[in-house]
Amino acid sequence: MILIFVRTVIIYILVLFVMRFMGKREIGQMQPFELVISIMIADLAATPMAETGIPILYGIIPIFGLLTMHIIISLLNLKSIRIREIICGKPRILIYRGKIDEKALIKENFTINELQERLRVNNINNIGDVEFAILETSGQISVVQKPEKRALKPEDFNMQVPYEGIAYDLVIDGKVMRDNLDKLGKDYNWLEQEIGKFNMKPEEALIAVLNGDQSIFCQKKEEK
């Protein structure tokens, strides 16, 4: 039992490292070759974990081999558009200027119901509101609505919207995010003063965030 536990921990750490190295894309945004590699890694990892008679290297070496293949294919994708099209395919327009391309649906094995479902995921309930719908190589659908159906933006009213930067975590679960303080050009004394306005110390905060408009959101940890 101990041997199985140790092998499981080793394989888990290895797979976690490999998947982390492969990038941060979600499953639905993976390219076909990335999805294939992920499935194969899962299968290779399961065997040495369960079968103690199989040397653990029989699982580790193939996983590193797949990681090597991933690196090579990724580099080829960066270097050659032609190779990228062969491996990942090309985006295909399913709706062009408001008209559904039936031939494109057939080539991609897409039904009308599936198209409607994907549009609803994009908050499009009326297929007649779509000007362009593009099936990306990741399997996601990008939608461009007809001009009269698009949401209004401040620029449509010639409104000037003040700039807002990104939010920075200052404290997470009582831990001060010193790297973010350095990026902001602030120090602990400044943080202590700002958090003090909420009648608490930084270490007592569950979360403290400096928003893009320079306001601070802060919540105190519950007492255990």
Residue 176 burial (CB count, 10 A):
19
Contact 101, 108 (CB under 8 A): no
pLDDT tens-digit map of 22-54: 665 545 566 667 777 778 887 877 777 767 777
For the chain, domains (ranges, CATH) are 2-86 (no CATH), 92-149 (3.30.240.20), 168-220 (3.30.240.20)
For residue 18, the model assigns a pLDDT of: 77
Phi and psi angles of residue 197, each rounded to the nearest 5 degrees, phi first: -65, -20
Statement: residue 96 has pLDDT above 90: yes
For residue 22, the model assigns a pLDDT of: 66
54: amino acid identity, one letter: I
Would you say the pTM of this structure is higher than 0.95? Answer: no
For 16, the token pair is: 């976690």
Which residues does 223 contact at the CB level (< 8 Å), separation at least 6? Answer: none
